[in-house]
Amino acid sequence: METIRLHDTGVAVEDVQQRLAVAGFLDETGVDGTFGPATASAVKEFCRAAGLPESEEVDSKVWAALVDASFTLGDRTLYLRLPHFHGADVAELQQALSALGFACGPVDGIFGAYTELALRKFQLNLGLPSDGIAGAYTYTAINNLHHSWEGKEAVRSAAYQGFARASEALESHSICLFGTEPFTRNVASRMSNLSLATNPFSKVASAESLLVAPEQDMMLIHIVLPGHQVNDGIPCISFEPHDTLPVRLQTALRVSMAHEPARIAIELPGDTWEGAGEERSAQHFAIFLLDALCSALTM
């Protein structure tokens, strides 16, 4: 491309100015198609912010950086490819995923393998097709959760508050826990027992402890093991990494509550906790899951 510089005029200059305005380096009133001192100053400031050699002219490298900086989330479909997608929209996607508990490495604006993996986990968590493609449905889900991630930093660890300190949450939310395998039924039963021991008025119960069918307004939480097929449209939350489990649970719970009956699945990493026996493993999973659930319900 031909370098765009001071005193140039025309459509190309206007395009540069519009991109500078979108990136926050030029006021909208300065988009007039004339490359004047204000535009030159904005280009210089942009170069400095983008880590480019300071310049008041727009060459091919500055133009490429401007294009990257002017993309906003939802402008284009993103997926893993070579060369990788890169730009401000990718960085915004990474920031949203990280703040929602789906770590994708540094927010570098490059759609690499870690970003794709985090996106797939997010989609699975919300019951969306887990294809690793950021398209219309994914953008709608992210935008619906904007209050949960905008302006927030990546979640690296969760401050578990302990279910004993969240006994009010146990009494305020009607939840039915169930498993379809011996081990997961054991975990669900132990979670129910722990909740009742914490608060005798707890409305968190396992399906096996119910004497009647679950009420229509009960949240259904299905505990599963790897390989269990979860029905399409049902949010499925991975237990690992367990330090961000409450944040990811909160997101899935919020989405599922828009449906009736509200239902999610939580996938355990297996039926053994660090080499412990079955009963001890079930108790460990029950404690961690109930702790994370209470934290999610009180965030």
Predicted pLDDT at 165? 55
Assigned CATH topology for domain 88-149: Muramoyl-pentapeptide Carboxypeptidase; domain 1 (1.10.101)
Residue segments in the chain with a per-residue pLDDT below the cut of 50: 158
**In contact, 56 and 6? CB cutoff 8 Å:** yes
Residues contacting 22, CB < 8 A, separation 6+: 69, 70, 72
Residue 273 buriedness (CB in 10 A; 0-12 / 13-18 / 19+)? middle
Query: How many angstroms separate the CA atoms of 127 and 107, rounded?
Result: 25
pTM: 0.68
Structure tokens at 185: 């039924």
- How much is the pLDDT for 38? 95
**DSSP for residue 71:** -
**Which two tokens mark 13?**
């200059």
Tell me how many degrees the CA angle 284-121-134 measures, rounded to the nearest 5: 165
Please report the pLDDT score of residue 208 as a whole number.
Answer: 86
Tokens of 247: 């944040």
Coil, strand or helix at 130: coil
Strands (E) located in the chain: 175-179, 204-206, 219-224, 236-238, 263-267
DSSP conformation letters of 146-166: HHHHTT-----------GGGG
| Antiparallel, parallel or unpaired: β 236-238 and 204-206 | unpaired
Q: What is the pLDDT of residue 92?
A: 95
- CB atoms < 10 A from the CB of 143, how many? 12
Task: Check: CB of residue 244 under 8 Å from CB of residue 153.
Answer: no
The answer regarding whether domain 11-70 maps to CATH 1.10.101 reads: yes
Q: Reduce the secondary structure of 232-275 to three states and give it as a string.
A: CCCCEEECCCHHHHHHHHHHHHHHHCCCCCCEEEEECCCCCCCC
- The answer to whether residues 118 and 103 touch, using CB atoms and an 8 Å cutoff, is yes
DSSP type of residue 82:
S
